[in-house]
Structure 1
Amino acid sequence: MGAIKSKFFRSKSGSRKSKEDKPVKEKKQKKKVNLPESQSARKTVDPRLPFSNYRQIFSIRNAWKAIQRSMEEHATETFMRFLNSHPHYKAKYSSISGIQDGELEELRKNQDFEDKSMDIYCIFDGVIANLENVDKAIQEIQYGAAATQFSHKMVKDYHDPFIENIRLVLGSDRFTETTENNYKLLYGFIQVELCKHLEEEDEPTVIEVSKADIVEEPTEEVVDNTKIVADTEVEVNLCVDDAS
């Protein structure tokens, strides 16, 4: 029994000793992984565009996806907001010129109005899709300019309704100050290129002036000095005759 016990203890102590004799492994150091540079960081921006980095283009495209889901609806809403602010522009479009200001809601059902609304939105859609190919983007503007029937002044006045509609679509959480600035830069680029193919101003407005508005300046009486001299000579002669 004692022999067995001693044998057991020897085997146990031997196994413990073998474990202690094993060299301690050094901890592996973590290797640094060089991640590939993002595509947006590698891409350059055409100098004709008003952007300083490609991230701005990426932001514009990402936000525009929300517009593209219902582009006809958003185009109509923007154009309605535009005409509500500037109702005199209705006269430019024969299909809606007879609609009264209070009946603009009826335009939602007007197919001609939707088509006209889409003319300007299609330009923005085409430009945003081709911001990496500026020549193609400029062609999109040139091709669609005439259909809008816009003038320089109308393009300027369309700015605020357009930006406001994007604000409403994206909401306050997504429509950040950066997004707003990027879209204003985009609008400025399109405005400059679009105005190259549009009339400078609308047709001049005829202003009717009533007679009551006309102030007549008093006319100066022309004195005939010859007549005065002649009358004086006659009077002198009469006095001479009387004296004689």
Structure 2
Amino acid sequence: MGCRQAKPQHTGNDKAEEKGNCETEFTTAVAIDPRLPLDQRQVFKLKQSWKGIKRNMEQTGVEMFIRLFKTNSELKALFTSFAMLDVEDDLRENEALEHHATLVMTTLDDAFSRIDNYSYVTEVLLKTGESHRRFSAFRSEIFWTMRSPFLEAVKITLGDRYTDNMESIYKIAITFILQALSDGFNEDHKVNNSASPVESEP
């Protein structure tokens, strides 16, 4: 499981030395596509941090939707299986909400886990965004309503590990992801492949 090291000279702090070498290897092994709004170090930190979310995807996803409906209660109407539920505990225990939250988090997991593979991630997100056109009541702005609830849910799951630096990285990453989803829905990627990300919340 360790990093490739060529007979390191011991300094008396083997754990710190190994950690430093590991981070160097991870952050320099693959060149980051310049279209990705994250540098190598940010990508490394994000992928390491995301492991904590991956272990709690269902819980994080449900929390995200609970917070979404607190600020955008009208969006519940898009989900006939739990549109009439107003009590938070009922929503948390609803299997349909849990299932949908898990589906959304699975897509996000694919994107975050492979965030350094720009071509793959953008293709998946564009297709996912495009697939939402089959829902007559859906509009691209709805993707952006997920930004704050997602960040709040991640903060709850990670706890003390959600530092100011990690918050900044997650904000950049989720903005990139939501922009790709929105582009896919609007077909913007076919007109302008270099569209700049939306910086403000809807």
Common topology (TM > 0.5):
yes
Q: Separation in 1 of the partners of 2:132 and 2:88?
A: 21
1:159 aligns with 2:143: no
Paired residues of 2:128 and 2:184 also in contact (CA < 8 A) = no
Q: Separation in 1 of the partners of 2:111 and 2:139?
A: 19
Runs of 4+ in 1 over 6 A off after TM superposition: none
Question: What aligned pairs does 1:119-198 form with structure 2 within 5 A after superposition?
Answer: 119-145=103-129, 146=131, 151-172=139-160, 174-198=161-185
Q: Separation in 2 of the partners of 1:179 and 1:65?
A: 13
Unaligned runs of 5+ in 1: 1-31, 201-244
Unaligned runs of 5+ in 2: 1-7, 10-16, 188-202
Count of aligned positions = 165
TM-score, normalised via structure 2 length: 0.72
Deviations 1:129-175 (A, max 9, x none): 22232221123213433369653322222111111111111223x21
> Which residue type is aligned with residue 50 of structure 1?
P
**Bigger radius of gyration:** 1
> Which residue type is aligned with residue 130 of structure 1?
R
Q: Separation in 2 of the partners of 1:169 and 1:73?
A: 8
> Which residue pairs with 1:78 in the alignment?
64
Deviation at 1:54, TM superposition (A): 1.1
RMSD after superposition: 2.6
Deviation at 1:199, TM superposition (A): 6.1
Equivalent pairs: percent with the same residue? 26
Change (3 A) 1:104 1:151: farther
Q: Separation in 1 of the partners of 2:46 and 2:82?
A: 32
TM-score, normalised via structure 1 length: 0.60
Larger deviation: 39-48 or 181-190?
Answer: 39-48
Change (3 A) 1:82 1:73: same
Question: What aligned pairs does 1:1-244 form with structure 2 within 5 A after superposition?
Answer: 38-39=24-25, 40-51=27-38, 53-99=39-85, 101=86, 103-145=87-129, 146=131, 151-172=139-160, 174-198=161-185
The structure whose RCO (Cα within 8 Å, separation 6+) is larger is 2
Deviation at 1:47, TM superposition (A): 1.2
> Which residue type is aligned with residue 41 of structure 2?
R
